[in-house]
Amino acid sequence: MASSNPTLIFCPGAWYPPTAFEALAAHFPDHTTHTVAFPSIQNATSVQDLQPDIDALRTLVEQEASAGKEVVVISHSWSGLPVNSALDGLSKAERQAAGETGGVTKLIFISAFIPDVGESLIGAFGGVPPDWYNRDIPHSTRLQEANGTVSAVDPYSLFFHDVPDGEEWAKTLRPHAWATKTSPAISAAYTRIPSAYLLCENDRAIPLFVQQLMVEKARGKGAQITTEKIATGHSPWLVDPASVAAFVQRSLA
């Protein structure tokens, strides 16, 4: 691997398995790649807030940065919450100022949430969960009997309607910890690290206008975000991995 090639860390959205990014990662054989296995998806019933997901990403970034590597974090959908909360002190600029090497040089968002500090995902929806959320609410009122998870109603139509084998991908989704929908972002990495955003024009889960509003709001806070558009739904790299890989490659330049 050429030393100039940054490590790529892929962060899947809510419900998605880490394997979802294999097709995209395969386009970067000269880069070290990792995909975060977020605890709130892998062990949904045991997660009570955003911290385990934040820790999972920080561990990977610290591992690569400590080896002197530049890091690019690629975030899809919900994962914008833990990603933007997890990178305090880990940008290349911050690490250089502390006399350390390596660090995050770029954030790449794919129809991802860009939250304000203190804003949760449900807060971004105006405090009302989307009507396609299917919460695991038991008949019993005993808290210990609640799994505390949420799934998507008809994930094929929401996330994979234009994906080859989309029905099969829908079956790979797992319940997600409800707590991660109500836990607030604790930082805003996008205000400190240059970013690129892939706007998904036919997204049924996060409509294009919502993506655009988040980008403009972030720019209003001083964020440096470039944008490109792709004519796909919510999972563009599963529709056209080569085009998304080309966008990532341009974003690395």
pLDDT tens digits along 159-202: 999 999 999 999 999 999 999 999 999 999 999 999 999 999 99
* Residue-level length of the chain: 253
Please give the mean pLDDT across all residues of the chain: 93
Percentage of the chain surpassing pLDDT 90?
86
Band (215; pLDDT cuts 50, 70, 90): very high
Distances (CA, A) of 10 to 36, 48, 63, 126, 245: 6, 23, 15, 28, 12
Q: How many CA atoms lie within 13 A of 144 on its CB side?
A: 0
Residue at 222: amino acid letter? G
pTM of the model: 0.94
Domains of the chain with CATH codes = 7-252 (3.40.50.1820)
Phi-psi region of 34 (alpha: psi -120 to 50; beta: other; left: phi over 0): beta
Q: Is 192 exposed, middle or buried (0-12, 13-18, 19+ CB in 10 A)?
A: buried
Return the bridge partners of 135, or none: 150
Look at residue 3 and tell me whether its pLDDT is greater than 90.
Answer: no
* CA 84/CA 130 separation, integer angstroms: 22
Instruction: Report long-range pairs for 239-242 (Cβ below 8 Å, ≥24 apart).
Output: 239/162, 239/163, 239/164, 241/23, 241/24, 241/26, 241/27, 242/27
Look at residue 45 and tell me whether its pLDDT is greater than 90.
Answer: no
Q: State the pLDDT at residue 138.
A: 57
User: Sheet of 103-110: strands edge to edge?
Assistant: 33-35, 7-11, 70-76, 103-110, 195-200, 225-230
Average pLDDT of span 222-238:
98
Average pLDDT of span 28-32:
97
Band (139; pLDDT cuts 50, 70, 90): low
* CA 238/CA 132 separation, integer angstroms: 22
Contact 59, 71 (CB under 8 A): no
Least confident of 4-8, 69-73, 77-81, 215-219: 4-8
Contact 20, 12 (CB under 8 A): yes
Average pLDDT of span 94-111:
97
